[in-house]
């Protein structure tokens, strides 16, 4: 896949991509905690399945006993037993 | 995590239940409007549970309407709700307020004065001196002028050389430095002679000023003139008075006799004891016993006091005093001769403490211990020269 001009610029100047390219940034601790920064909305939330809207593909998190530990307008913190993270 | 919870408790929050077909929409709108939700949990198909701050909760109504969700309060958590709930209980509110006020007022006073560094003076003397100068128990700590008190106490009580006062909480620490009494010094500018303060045999004599009248090996009697401060004038006419100075080391003999005790007082606890407790608030004593009588002929008292504290340095004027009285049986018992002699000997030795002992001769009779100590000591003693009135300066060359 050819990189866009913006992406190349970001790499050239070592700038954080989630800011320049408006990409989601995921931080996962083991299988128990996931932080998604730069998301744009919650599409679906149940304790076994969460879908988050981002600028690109939606992020789907499957697991057991999922909770939204904290929600703000820029990030969301998911806790529970995470079984899978998918881009759809 | 604990601190976050504590912080949330002080700020207060509301646990809500959101019911609707599409509660995700509710969450999204909340996030977009800057209302943060935490601990969001799915309860069932149509309901979520979440926590929201009190400030955020007030903004939820339009959001609920827009997202077509119902919002119910399930629990209110926080200090403000607790206070709100109990605001109608007058006695409780009054008590809480009184507690706060008392705490604030009580910690503004000095309740304990700690004195350290006293040896010759008593604690009581120091406390009295402090009270005269304006530091006493029950004093407002803001009104204490430390340097003022230090100065007054030092000028009034001559035996105190230095006084350090530190006020910490409701405690005043007073550190006393006592003045060591100066040996009496004969004024340097006054003429004097040196006499023997003690009979003995002169070992060495060194006259820094004045005329030497004895030499090594001489036997001197107590009161004998050793170094004269009266000098013949250089012109040969009349005399000159000087301040005699010097050192006369002599071999002296001290005869000390101490009676040997035949009996001693033995104090033994009988095993019976009584306790008396007392509460003290300010200067009011509340005894927790009926009779003041101890009921023992002789007793040992062991006292303990516990103060009500807030923190380490902030005792309050409430204390619990615990006195325990142990009955004593005091009997006079014949003393063993060996120990009695040893004690008498120790006493004799105590009487010549500070003098260099060369040799000693012990003599033990039926009822006394006599020890003759041979010592080496400085026997000088300064005294004013006896003189005729006209001789001051007049005839000096």
Helix-helix angle B146-156:B123-133, to 10 degrees? 120
Using the beta-carbon criterion (under 8 Å), do B32 and A73 form an inter-chain contact?
yes
Evaluate if residue B276 carries a pLDDT over 50. yes
Which of B89-103, B125-139, B173-187, B258-272 is predicted least confidently? B173-187
**Residues B13 and B56 sit within 8 Å (Cβ to Cβ):** no
Which band of pLDDT confidence, cut at 50, 70 and 90, is reported for residue B52?
A: very high
Residues 16-45 of B with CB under 8 A from A: 23-24, 27-28, 30-34, 36-42
CATH architecture of B2-83: 2-Layer Sandwich (3.30)
Q: What is the CATH number of the domain that holds A66?
A: 2.60.40.2000
Sort B232 into a burial class: Cβ within 10 Å, 0-12 / 13-18 / 19+.
exposed
Contacts of A63 (CB under 8 A, 6+ apart): A31, A48, A49, A80, A81, A82, A83, A84
Contacts of A71 in chain B (CB under 8 A): 27, 30-31, 36-38, 40
Minimal Cβ distance to B31: which of A45, A66, A73: A73
Residue A32 lies in a domain: yes
pLDDT score at B393: 41
Contacts of A69 in chain B (CB under 8 A): 38-40
| End-to-end CA separation in angstroms for chain A | 18
Residue A81 lies in a domain: yes
pLDDT in tens, B156-184: 888 888 888 888 888 888 898 888 766 66
pLDDT score at B288: 82
ipTM confidence? 0.83
Cα separation, A47 vs A65, whole angstroms: 5
Given the structure tokens 């601190």, which residue do they identify? B3
Structure tokens at B375: 């010592």
Q: CATH assignment of B88-182?
A: 3.10.20.310
Q: List where CATH 3.10.20.310 sits in chain B.
A: 88-182
| Tally of CA atoms within 13 A in the half-sphere of A18 that contains its CB | 12
B360-386 per-residue burial string, b: 16 or more CB within 10 A, e: under 16: beeeeeeeebebebebebebbbbeebe
Which band of pLDDT confidence, cut at 50, 70 and 90, is reported for residue A33?
A: very high
pLDDT in tens, B198-245: 888 998 888 888 888 888 888 888 888 888 888 877 777 777 888 888
Average pLDDT over residues B277-288: 84
DSSP secondary structure letters along B123-157:
HHHHHHHHHHHT--TT-BGGG--HHHHHHHHHHH-
pLDDT score at B90: 86
pLDDT score at B183: 64
Structure tokens at A21: 């390219």
Using the beta-carbon criterion (under 8 Å), do A42 and B27 form an inter-chain contact?
yes
B255 vs B389, more confident: B255
**Mean pLDDT of all residues in chain B?**
84
| End-to-end CA separation in angstroms for chain B | 97
Q: How far is the CA of B14 from the CAs of B68, B76, B89, B131, in angstroms?
A: 20, 5, 23, 57
Average pLDDT over residues B265-285: 85
Query: Could you give the number of structural domains in chain A?
Result: 1
Task: Name the residue of chain B whose CA is nearest to A68's CA.
Answer: B40
Residue A66 lies in a domain: yes
Residues 43-102 of B with CB under 8 A from A: 48, 50
CA B89 to chain CA centroid, Å, is 46
Average pLDDT over residues B340-364: 85
Cα separation, B108 vs B99, whole angstroms: 14
Which band of pLDDT confidence, cut at 50, 70 and 90, is reported for residue B318?
A: confident
Identify the CA nearest to B18 among candidates B9, B29, B7.
B29
Residue B182, number of CB atoms within 10 A of its CB: 6
Contacts of A38 in chain B (CB under 8 A): none
pLDDT score at A58: 93
Contacts of B199 (CB under 8 A, 6+ apart): B219, B220, B221, B222, B252, B253
Evaluate if residue B395 carries a pLDDT over 50. no
Using the beta-carbon criterion (under 8 Å), do B27 and A43 form an inter-chain contact?
no
Minimal Cβ distance to B42: which of A47, A69, A76: A47
Structure tokens at A40: 């744009």
Q: List where CATH 3.30.70.260 sits in chain B.
A: 2-83
Q: How many percent of chain A have pLDDT more than 70?
A: 98
Minimal Cβ distance to B40: which of A41, A44, A71: A71
Residue A11 lies in a domain: no
pLDDT score at B294: 77
Residue A1 lies in a domain: no
pLDDT in tens, B178-207: 887 666 677 777 888 888 888 889 988 888
pLDDT score at B73: 92
Q: How close B47 gets to chain A, by Cα (Å)?
A: 10
Q: How many percent of chain B have pLDDT more than 70?
A: 95
Residues 109-128 of B with CB under 8 A from A: none
Q: How many percent of chain A have pLDDT more than 90?
A: 60
pLDDT score at B319: 87
A21 vs A48, more confident: A48
Residue A13 lies in a domain: no
Using the beta-carbon criterion (under 8 Å), do B28 and A41 form an inter-chain contact?
yes
Contacts of B38 in chain A (CB under 8 A): 68-71
Evaluate if residue A63 carries a pLDDT over 90. yes
Residue A15 lies in a domain: no
pLDDT in tens, A1-12: 667 777 787 777
Evaluate if residue B53 carries a pLDDT over 80. yes
Using the beta-carbon criterion (under 8 Å), do B28 and A70 form an inter-chain contact?
no
pLDDT in tens, B118-128: 888 888 888 88
Cα separation, B371 vs B367, whole angstroms: 13
Residue A10 lies in a domain: no
Q: How close B81 gets to chain A, by Cα (Å)?
A: 23
pLDDT score at B389: 38
* Structural domain that includes position A66: 22-87
**Residues B177 and B163 sit within 8 Å (Cβ to Cβ):** yes
């Amino acid at each position: 896949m050819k990189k866009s001009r913006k992406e190349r610029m970001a790499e050239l100047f070592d700038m954080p991509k989630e800011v320049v390219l408006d990409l989601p940034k995921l931080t996962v601790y083991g299988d128990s905690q996931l932080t998604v920064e730069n998301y744009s909305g919650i599409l679906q939330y149940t304790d076994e399945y969460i879908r988050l809207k981002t600028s690109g593909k939606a992020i789907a998190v499957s697991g057991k006993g999922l909770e939204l530990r904290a929600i703000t307008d820029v990030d969301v913190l998911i806790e529970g037993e995470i079984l899978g993270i998918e881009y759809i | 995590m604990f601190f976050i919870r504590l912080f949330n408790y002080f700020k207060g929050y509301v646990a809500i239940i959101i019911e609707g077909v599409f509660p995700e929409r509710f969450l999204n709108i909340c996030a977009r409007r800057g209302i943060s939700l935490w601990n969001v949990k799915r309860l069932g198909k149509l309901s979520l549970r979440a926590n929201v701050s009190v400030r955020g909760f007030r903004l939820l109504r339009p959001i609920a309407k827009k997202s077509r969700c119902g919002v119910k309060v399930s629990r209110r958590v926080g200090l403000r709700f607790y206070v709100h709930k109990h605001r109608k209980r007058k006695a409780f509110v009054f008590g809480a307020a009184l507690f706060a006020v008392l705490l604030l007022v009580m910690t503004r006073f000095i309740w304990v004065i700690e004195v350290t560094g006293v040896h010759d003076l008593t604690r009581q003397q120091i406390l009295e001196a402090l009270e005269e100068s304006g530091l006493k128990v029950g004093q407002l700590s803001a009104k204490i002028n430390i340097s003022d008190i230090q100065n007054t106490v030092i000028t009034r009580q001559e035996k105190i050389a230095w006084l350090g006062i530190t006020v910490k909480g409701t405690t005043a620490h007073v550190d006393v430095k006592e003045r060591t009494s100066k040996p009496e010094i004969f004024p340097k500018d006054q003429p004097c002679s040196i006499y023997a303060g003690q009979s003995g045999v002169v070992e060495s004599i060194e006259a820094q000023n004045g005329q030497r009248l004895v030499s090594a090996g001489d036997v001197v009697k107590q009161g004998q003139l050793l170094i004269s401060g009266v000098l013949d004038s250089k012109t040969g006419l009349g005399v000159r008075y000087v301040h005699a100075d010097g050192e006369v080391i002599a071999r002296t003999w001290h005869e000390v006799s101490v009676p040997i005790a035949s009996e001693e007082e033995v104090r033994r606890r009988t095993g019976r004891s009584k306790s008396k407790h007392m509460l003290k608030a300010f200067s009011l004593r509340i005894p927790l016993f009926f009779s003041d009588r101890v009921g023992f002929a002789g007793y040992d008292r062991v006292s303990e006091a516990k103060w009500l504290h807030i923190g380490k340095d902030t005792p309050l004027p409430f204390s619990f005093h615990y006195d325990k009285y142990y009955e004593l049986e005091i009997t006079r018992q014949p003393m063993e001769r060996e120990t009695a002699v040893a004690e008498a000997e120790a006493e004799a030795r105590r009487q010549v403490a500070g003098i260099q002992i060369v040799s000693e001769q012990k003599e033990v009779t039926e009822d006394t211990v006599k020890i003759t100590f041979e010592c080496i000591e400085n026997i000088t003693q300064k005294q004013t020269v006896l003189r005729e009135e006209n001789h001051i300066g007049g005839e000096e060359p």
